[in-house]
Amino acid sequence: MTASNPNNIQLAREAGQSIWLDFINRDLLRSGKLAELVELGLGGLTSNPTIFQSAIAQGSDYDDDLERLASEGLDANATFEGLATKDIADAADIFRPTYDRLGGADGFVSIEVDPQLAGDTQSTVEQARRLFATLDRPNVFIKVPATPEGIPAIRTLIGEGINVNVTLIFSRDAYRNVANAYIDGLADYKAKGNSDLSGIASVASFFVSRVDSNIDARLGDASDSSLKGKAGTANAKLAYADFREIFGTEKFAALKASGARVQRPLWASTSVKNPAYPELMYVNGLIGPDTVDTLPPATLDAFLDHGVVAQTLTEGLESAQRDMAALAAAGVNIDDVTDELIAAGVASFTASYVELMADIEAKRDSLAATAS
């Protein structure tokens, strides 16, 4: 695309939103496909245990490294960390020109801590420190879940200058806790004698479609089907209003004067789960300043092909409030929904991680047997 005929990724950036890819594997990195997307304007990349499970378990792209790491006597956890950090480092290097060109405002790649640590603050902090040091790149995010135990970990890590992508945010209460933990972490970092805060970055990953999936199931065959498919977008828009309020305070203004960046809301889970819904309803409906949307490959292709870019995020706030009130009147307790969703999210990523460890063991055994 030329400057006179920008693509939708570029148009979204003009509207203040960075489009990221929610996917990684070796072929994406080695084939030049990721570099091509970066040329189109792609601003970053996210990964999670489920994505890595699919990448490593399928095909033979990782076999050489699996054999090498196995020969070093590493267990499955250490082997996975070796495989994942190599991919993340390579991806971060591909995005580094973007990061440099934009002065550290974009061009990030995310890797998640072991989801089995979601209930352990100290172990989360220790693994995050190790991953950040191992990768040794300024455009890397360490993903930490927004569990009650994750919130103090976020403050600690930001206070040490470690970039954090806070994942699995479903509720506005959790979002506000995350945003305040980020701001408190920045204040801690500054209190240690660091006068320049511009090198610290964070995003708050707010999940969208899973909210609708849960609430639609609760509504069942209710006669008022007009309530279905409304909560995900409404919840996100209200959280964005919270973002604007929190980062418009005097407390943050004092940090901003030292170079602090806002913690951008990142819309996650923006591919529709219900095929009856328009495939881009979350993507098109949540575009606005100081945000990120991370898209799986098929959704990214659809957005490039026929997405509609407009300032939609700041529109319809009163309608969003009415939708959430109507759901409450229909007996849907949003706190119950979001509590259930974060528990399910942690459980799902943990299951993928455990399965991945088993896949790595099985692949190593198979490769060893073939070699002998």
Residue closest to 313 by CA, chosen among 10, 7, 19, 16: 16
**Cβ neighbour number for residue 187 with a 10 Å cutoff:** 19
Confidence of residue 220 (pLDDT cuts 50, 70, 90): confident
Confidence of residue 225 (pLDDT cuts 50, 70, 90): confident
Question: How does DSSP classify residue 103?
Answer: T
For the chain, domains (ranges, CATH) are 8-371 (3.20.20.70)
Dihedral sign of CA atoms 35, 38, 42, 48 in order: positive
Indicate the average pLDDT of the chain: 95
pLDDT at res. 364: 83
Confidence of residue 216 (pLDDT cuts 50, 70, 90): very high
**Using one digit for the tens of pLDDT, what is the confidence trace for 197-210?**
999 999 999 999 99
Please give the share of the chain, as a percent, with pLDDT higher than 90.
87
User: 205-238: b or e for each residue (b if 16 or more CB lie within 10 Å)?
Assistant: bbbbbbbbbbbbebbeeeeeeebbbbbbbbbbbb
Q: Does 16 score more than 60 pLDDT?
A: yes
Query: What is the spatial distance between Cα 355 and Cα 347, in angstroms, rounded to a whole number?
Result: 12
Q: Does 2 score more than 60 pLDDT?
A: no
**Cβ neighbour number for residue 199 with a 10 Å cutoff:** 13
- Cβ atoms of 43 and 20 within 8 Å: the answer is yes
58-65's contacts with Cβ under 8 Å and 24+ in sequence apart are 59/27, 61/25, 61/26, 61/27, 61/30, 62/26, 62/363, 63/363, 63/367
14-18, 70-74, 293-297, 346-350: range with lowest mean pLDDT: 70-74
- Cβ atoms of 149 and 118 within 8 Å: the answer is yes
**Using one digit for the tens of pLDDT, what is the confidence trace for 334-346?**
999 999 999 999 9
The set of catalytic residues is 143
pLDDT at res. 223: 54
